[in-house]
Structure 1
Amino acid sequence: MKRRILVGGIAAAAAAATAPSASRRRIGISDVDRLHTRFTEVIANDHRHGGQLGIEQRATALADEALNLQNMGSATQRVRNSLYACAASFRSSAMWAAIDGRRYNDARAHMREAQVLAEMSGNQAIKFRIWSHAGTMYRHMGRPSHALAANDVARNLHITRRDPLFASLGLARQSAIHGVARDRTGTRRAFEQAQDAMLRADPADFRPVWMLAFYDQAELDSLGLSAFLALGDYQTAEFHAHRCLSALRPHMRRSLAITTTRLAHAQLAQGAVDAATVTAMSVPSDAATQHARVSRLLQKFGAALHATAPGSSTTQIWTEHHRNAWRTPA
């Protein structure tokens, strides 16, 4: 009798464990749409501020939220793939925030997670974003060979043959990598190919929000500025800086600060000390003090200015401005 009760209890417990929970529900496209809305918010916040730890942490939490939905109910395979794509998208944004903030160890950790999730989703666009970000990460780290290899993974995806805009972005970033490697021919050729591909792209084609939010002629010129500045072709770099600034969309506040700072570098390298200093001083204080890449570029500008015009009144003005206007709060 006791044995029958014991066996019956075990069977009941097993049945309870395997039976669908009353709290489980059907996961559908509306859940995916909600995550897409959150992703749009992350993208917008990134373009306003960029590189902040809070953006990285928020994106990571949302990636976990997308993955948790996989276990909260039943769903079609299409929905499950979309959830993996959402998780990969959030992880790629966390990766980018870490890159932008020069937290490269964290960026690599996010990259590994994002790559796995992207493969599980089968989404070509997010695979491109992750590998393209990896190329940018290695470029910022001064490792052009790694950067080219990672960027080539992105450029060899089928989506670059289907959509010229993806091809253009891959080529533009390749140009910037060639600039770091001091490959003059490769820099120019890749940039020209990127421009040609952009002109062939149909603006009406469907593209993910992260692509629509930032990649246009202004961003292409921003990458051209980065490429030719690294190459030491300062006149061409300045040309692309002015073109970028004239076309930059208002929400691209982080890009505005970076482009302005790089323009100052290009002007200073051509001997325009006063103009370069005025340009550098126009960088907004929040970007100058809170964005790692901008802060580092401005520090390098100050060092170059002191080396170029030591003891000049312009250098003194810069020093006072840097000390007073951009003082980091204690």
Structure 2
Amino acid sequence: MSTSRNATLEAWMAENGYSSNSLADAVNSAVGDLTGKVGGLDGSSVRDWKAGRVRWPKSATRVALERVTGLPATALGFVPRGRAPSSSLATSKEGHVKRRSFIAAGTAVAAAAAVPASASSRRIGTSDIERLQRRFTELIASDHRHGGQLGIEQRAAALADEALALQSSGSASQRVRARVYGCAAAFRSSAMWAAIDGRRYEDAIVHMREAQVLAELAAEPAIKFRIWSHAGTLYRHLGRPADAIAANDVARNLALTRRDPMFACLGHARQAACHGLNGDPAAVRRALGSAHDALERADPQLPRPAWMTAVHNGAELETLALAAYLNLGDFEQAELHAHRSLALLHPHMKRDRALNTARLAHAQLGQDDLEPAVATAMSIPPGVVACHPRVAGIIGEFGTKLHAAASSSSLTGAWNTYARASLRKSA
């Protein structure tokens, strides 16, 4: 039997920045939400859909796919068994136009089914959204000060649950319901980031899957960008550069990056850090060049989410360049970007300042500048090291390299005293 390609699904994936693997992951996560057991799709499963070899996915997979995309399966080019392929064409034409309203209407129906009779008179509105957004801004500020502490992760997850509970507390317009889902996705993405920052990577993966589903329900491009960009960082810390690049590609290919070059800047800079992990200096330079070009094109006056604060003035670009060149072993360039990042970071961004100071110490040690390297590392207060797992990890690695380079140096005694005061508290 001959098959024809599912051009409708291919077009949707291209427009929304999905690869075969990333769509499979998102559907697997949605299957888990529906059934309690994560799905078993992989990239080849999605390629079978695109090639037309599978014209009508199984029921649980189909429902999960509809939840991820916000479209009925027929609007994605799939054909129910026993129906001629042409019958799906009219549906697919209007399905694209109605994507946002379908998401909101479908989720509103689900939420309405859970609304107690006593809550039906309550109207969820803009004031509820504004309250959630204020809590999100407070959460971002706390993250900048305190980093990946378990308490921040737990608070973010609780706020995501609070936002979802709001869906069942009363009636709302489709637009408001979508915005509530966007708030829940934002909180869950912060829980994911706190878990990454705290090196609790298995927990981060759980938060990531939940955040991805919520972002699809919200159809909010900025939070989708944040989640996939954080996924790239997660895979980078797990030592999986190919997966990191793939996740970053999803973020970089969202239409948002074409509308606002500030997001493109962040996407290119994070890709540079991944290329550094791969040991590819030419790719690092290309990505950083693209990031600088995008930053120059960006309008600094446009309103953007609170978590983009460090991108506006180039601090995040310098931070990611620092990470890239450290991974390449180009310590002179790393030191240059370390000084630039520290000059640009806002005073309240204590976690990032400690991280980049620790990285600066590594760059100096890599150039055999032992005395300034030790002085730089010891300039981080022990209490700060104790509070930030990533900082503690970098400082611990610095101590190991220092002892290997100068085990009998007079600097060793001072360093050991500092390490006892900081690293043991963080253990």
Does TM, normalized by the shorter one, top 0.5? yes
Give yes or no for contact 2:148–2:389 (8 Å, CA) kept in 1: yes
2:156 aligned with 1:63: no
Task: From 169, 181, 197, give the equivalent of 1:72.
Answer: 169
1:292 aligns with 2:389: yes
1:32 equivalent in structure 2: 129
Aligned to 2:328: 231
Q: Is the 8 A contact 2:387 2:426 kept in 1?
A: no
Q: Is 2:187 the counterpart of 1:187?
A: no
- 1:50–1:254 Cα contact (<8 Å) kept: yes
Quick one: distance in 2 between partners of 1:129 and 1:267? 32
Counterpart in the other structure of 2:186: 89
The Cα of 1:124 is off from its aligned counterpart by 0.2
**Mapped contact 1:24–1:72 kept (Cα < 8 A):** no
Alignment counterpart, residue 212 of structure 1, candidates 285, 305, 309 = 309
Q: How far apart, CA to CA, are the structure 1 residues paired with 2:303 and 2:320?
A: 23
**Matching of residue 203 in structure 1 with residue 203 in structure 2:** no
How many Å apart are 1:288 and its aligned residue?
1.0
CA distance in 1, matches of 2:168, 2:336: 53
How far has the Cα of 1:20 moved from its partner?
3.9
- Count matched residues: 314
- What residue is the counterpart of 1:54 in the other structure? 151
Q: Give the whole-Å Cα distance in 2 for the aligned partners of 1:232 and 1:321.
A: 26
Q: Distance in 2 between matches of 1:24 and 1:114?
A: 30
1:75 aligns to what SS in structure 2?
coil
- Per-residue CA deviation, residues 239-270 of structure 1 (Å, 9 max, x unaligned), is 00001111111011000000000000000000
Equivalent in the alignment of 1:116: 213
The one-character-per-residue Cα deviations of 1:294-330 (angstroms, maximum 9, x if unpaired) are 1110110000000111111012211122123554189
State how far apart, in whole Å, the 1-side matches of 2:408 and 2:247 are.
44
Correspondence list, 1:282-321, <5 A: 282-321=379-418
> Are 2:353 and 1:256 equivalent residues in the alignment?
yes
| Change over 3 Å in CA distance of 1:276–1:77 after alignment to 2 | same
From 85, 89, 103, the equivalent of 2:200 is 103
Partner of residue 268 from structure 1, selected from 365, 385, 399: 365
Relative to structure 1, is the Cα distance of residues 76 and 244 closer, same or farther in structure 2, using a 3 angstrom cutoff? same
Distance 1:30 1:96 in 2: 27
| Cα distance in 1 between the residues matched to 2:391 and 2:141 | 19
User: Kindly, what percent of the aligned residue pairs are identical?
Assistant: 61
Find the aligned partners of 1:110 and 1:117 in 2 and give their Cα distance.
Answer: 11
Of 229, 234, 243 in structure 2, the residue corresponding to residue 146 of structure 1 is: 243
Partner of 1:322: 419
Q: Contact (CA 8 Å) 1:56, 1:94: kept in 2 or not?
A: yes
SS in structure 1 at match of 2:168: coil
Q: Which amino acid aligns with 1:125?
A: A
Structure 1 residues 81 and 22: CA distance shift in structure 2, 3 A: closer
Distance in 2 between residues matched to 1:101 and 1:279, nearest whole Å = 23
CA separation in 2, counterparts of 1:171 and 1:18? 44
Q: 1:108 to 1:30 in 2, by over 3 A?
A: same
- Summarize the Cα distance change of 1:325–1:146 in structure 2 as closer, same or farther, 3 Å threshold: closer
Q: What letter corresponds to residue 421 of structure 2 in structure 1?
A: N
Rounded Cα–Cα distance in structure 2 between residues aligned with 1:210 and 1:278:
31
What's 2:377 paired with?
280
1:24 to partner: Cα distance: 4.0
Gaps of 5+ in 2: 1-113
Distance change (3 Å), C-alpha of 1:38 and 1:18: closer
Q: Which amino acid aligns with 1:304?
A: K
Aligned counterparts of 1:24 and 1:233: Cα–Cα separation in 2: 63
How far is the alpha carbon of 1:141 from its aligned partner?
Answer: 1.1
Structure 1 unmatched runs, 5+: 1-16
Measured in 2, the distance between the counterparts of 1:158 and 1:18 equals 35
RMSD: 1.6
Distance 1:243 1:213, change over 3 A: closer
Specify whether residues 229 and 63 from structure 1 end up closer, same or farther in structure 2 by C-alpha distance, changes over 3 A only. Answer: same
1:133 paired residue among 213, 230, 235: 230
